[in-house]
A and B are shown apart, each in its own frame.
Chain A
Amino acid sequence: MTAEGKKILIVDDEPDVREFVQGVLEESGYQFITAADGEEGLAKAKAESPDLAILDVQMPKKDGFRLFSELRADDATKSMPVIMLTGIGDRTGLRFDAEDMGEFLGSEPEAYIEKPVDPEKLSETVGKLLSGQS
């Protein structure tokens, strides 16, 4: 399956971030589903079965960590690759990476990208995950 037609779920309460992520990835022919909070993100993940999810961490209603855990706990979504976007390290003084978060969550997100997001890194990471190279 080529990149074209693959569905990416973007969950972030910042419209600017959603727009930016779409702008970065749109040339590759992906389809986008967006959600503005964790609850909406979970509902859309179950309803639309995206091929990959990009999650913010700090969100209203359901934060990114909780959303990630619930996605992993559901058979329908547990194999979906997840990229987490976060600037949480700035506030906590901690630096999260996939391994750290994995220890915390009991399962590792496939990738972690810190805000402000580097478009090339985002594009490359998404490309690898969707082509199964991760």
Chain B
Amino acid sequence: MNRRLRPLLSPGEGIEDLMPELVWTTPKGRQEHELKAETRIGRGLGNDIQLPDFMASTFHATIACQDGAWIVEDNKSTNGTFVNGDRQQRAILHDGDVITIGDVSLTFNNAVRPQSSTIFIRENAAAETLAGGKAPAGARHTGDILDSVFRDDAELTQFKTSSLTVSADVAGQRVADAGVLERRLKVSYEISKGVAATLGLPEIMDRTLAALFEIFEAAERAFILLVDPDTGEVGSAAVRRRVPDDTEEISMSRTALRQAMDRREAILCMDALSDARYSDARSVVSLGIRSMMIAPLVFQNQVLGAIYMDTRHGAGRFSEPDLELITVAAGQVAGCVANARLHEQVVRSERLAAVGQTVAGLTHCIKNILQGITGGAYLVDKALAKGDMDRAFSGWDMVKRNNAFMEDLVFDLLSYSKERQPEYRATDLNELCEDVCKLAAARGDTKGVQVTFEPDRTLEPVEVDPTGIRRSVLNLAMNAVDACANKGGSVTVATESPRDGFVRVMVRDTGCGMSDETRAKLFTMFFSTKRSKGTGLGLPVSKKIVEEHGGRIEVASQEGEGTTFTVCLPPTQLQKGECDDGRREEDPDR
């Protein structure tokens, strides 16, 4: 379901201007003070912020709002007022600035509030209708943003604010009963299990709602709402209903949701239905919402969404400890959401970087090949015009050679990019390697390189994808021949029966060997020491194929002396049955 629906909240809607605050630490702990139009700071009792510091003057400084700017002004203090380390008589404050008076450093916070969840209790308010996105019964996640339409925009004005806070800092001050703790632990555990199992965000959200549903038997509906990071719209991301709902509507109090998100406060609504002002609200009438809880998803001062839960089963079905619990869950879900979004960004960046690297590498490779093809064609044309057949054949060879490079490039690219499952067949690795050696020997003949094969005759057939493994071993053998081409030498391909759980194919050469630098880049795409003769994909492709088999490629090399590549492959795979009769299947590609 990908239809685009209208949002629950539009971007920026209902954002309230919050007064900035000063935050500092004393031996008693963290202190916060919300600034008013003018705030006096000093050692004396008459100050709004009293600093028990002998370095502070009796009336040390003032912070005041002037024309929209917050300004700190030193009041002729003896020891001065410092902003970010510099003594200032008067300075405009910005979010995060540190004001130092005596030994006390106060941080000016003018962005968003530190995360704390004050519980608001509303005793006589109704939930106005917020109808819209269809949501099937039972647990599900939508993935797409469901929109919802407000049918009634009543304001919630009668919240009573309790002093209860459940921020991590002060949680210990409150003694919750064992049942609450147990329930809280269960929810936390369920979410943590989801995280530990590296479930995706939708699964974690579903799991969270399921755990909350199990605990809150009175709950009839629960939603997790997320702010779309691109559009700022709020929509439902996970939905759970106790009873299948024919209307499939998502309706809730927009004002309560807005308040919870803007103020970063968890909200508990004790009785929504009894408020006469909202008695004609659609949700109240049709759904009979009585009790509801909303907890914002806040991560590093960013509101990412909210958890909403309600019931029709009567007023007062949720309590303050319940709100604590849902707030704990909200904190964990917020962390998961933030992580998931960060991960998405990283994946996107890496993908873009990889695409860029691939395009650059491919362009270079193709240009080299084009040089050979167009250059060869030019030479052929020119030679034919002059009737110089020797030169024409030479140019034609150049064209053919580079055409073959192009074929290799395309094959390697397809092999590398394709997500494939190996097609396992019982395969005689000796026979496969012997074939490879014949091809390598043909190339070796033209370069004065001898290729020999040393099979382990006791080697039983192994379960591999013969096409893929042939490609891998052939890549290694051809590389080995090329490594010997300049100085001469020999290439040996050998097989070995299972040892330490792996059969082995060794490709040894007595060629030029590799520097540490080359070795480090060996399996990097488009890295080649063979210039346009190499696509720079052969080894990455070989590695990919072998790893798809659950194997690995080992490399040992000595510069100037030679290199040994060892392909280690598990002799059997989990996928049995194709060759249970022991018959050795022939490779159809051979």
Contacts and interface: CB of A to CB of B under 8 A. Distances in A.
Interface in B166-215: none
A117 interface: yes
Interface string B361-405: 101100110111011101100110000000100110010011000
A96 to B, nearest CB: 14
B379 A116 contact: no
Nearest to A87: B367
Contacts of B526: 91
Interface in A11-29: 13-14, 16-17, 19-20, 23-24
A92 B379 CA distance: 30
Interface centre among A13, A24, A116 (most CB of B within 10 A): A116
A16 B361 contact: no
Interface in A65-102: 87, 90-93
Contacts of B402: 16
Given A14-B532, A19-B398, A24 B378 contact: yes
A116 B360 contact: no
A14 B395 CA distance: 14
A91 B360 CA distance: 5
Contacts, number: 64
B363 A90 contact: yes
Contacts of A58: 531
A106 interface: no
B375 A20 contact: yes
B367 A16 contact: no
B367 A19 contact: no
Contacts of B356: 93
A23 B364 contact: no
B378 A23 contact: yes
A46 interface: no
A5 interface: no
Given A19-B379, A91-B360, A116 B531 contact: no
A16 B401 contact: yes
A116 B371 CA distance: 4
Interface in B454-490: none
Contact of A20 (B361, B383, B398): B398
Q: How large is the interface on B (under 10, 10 to 19, 20 to 34, 35 or more residues)?
A: 20 to 34
A23 B361 contact: no
Contacts of B394: 19
A47 B371 CA distance: 30
Contacts of B401: 16
Contacts of B372: 14, 16, 20
A93 B372 CA distance: 22
B364 A91 contact: yes
B363 A23 contact: no
Nearest to B378: A119
Contacts of A90: 360, 363-364, 367
Q: How large is the interface on A (under 10, 10 to 19, 20 to 34, 35 or more residues)?
A: 10 to 19
B434 to A, nearest CB: 31
Contacts of B367: 87, 90, 115-116
A16 B532 contact: yes
Contacts of A116: 367, 370-371, 374-375
A97 to B, nearest CB: 17
Nearest to B362: A90
Interface string B339-366: 0000000000000000010001101100
B395 A23 contact: yes
B371 A17 contact: yes
Contacts of A60: 529
A117 B374 CA distance: 9
A58 B371 CA distance: 15
Nearest to A56: B531
A4 B290 CA distance: 101
Given A90-B363, A93-B360, A23 B371 contact: no
Contacts of A91: 360-361, 364, 526
A13 B526 CA distance: 18
Given A87-B367, A87-B368, A115-B367, A16 B375 contact: yes
Contacts of A23: 375, 378-379, 382-383, 391, 395
A58 B367 CA distance: 14
Contacts of B376: 16, 20
Contacts of A14: 368, 371-372, 531-532
Contacts of B360: 90-93
A120 to B, nearest CB: 10
B378 A20 contact: yes
23 contacts: A14-B372, A14-B531, A16-B375, A16-B376, A16-B398, A16-B401, A17-B371, A19-B375, A19-B379, A19-B394, A20-B398, A23-B382, A23-B391, A87-B367, A90-B360, A90-B363, A91-B361, A91-B364, A91-B526, A115-B367, A115-B371, A116-B371, A117-B371
Interface of A: 13-14, 16-17, 19-20, 23-24, 58, 60, 87, 90-93, 115-117, 119
Given A20-B378, A115-B368, 4 more contacts: A14-B531, A19-B394, A23-B382, A87-B371
Q: Which 9 A-B pairs have the closest CB atoms?
A: A20-B375, A116-B371, A90-B364, A90-B363, A23-B379, A16-B372, A116-B370, A91-B364, A87-B367
Interface of B: 356, 360-361, 363-364, 367-368, 370-372, 374-376, 378-379, 382-383, 391, 394-395, 398, 401-402, 526, 529, 531-532
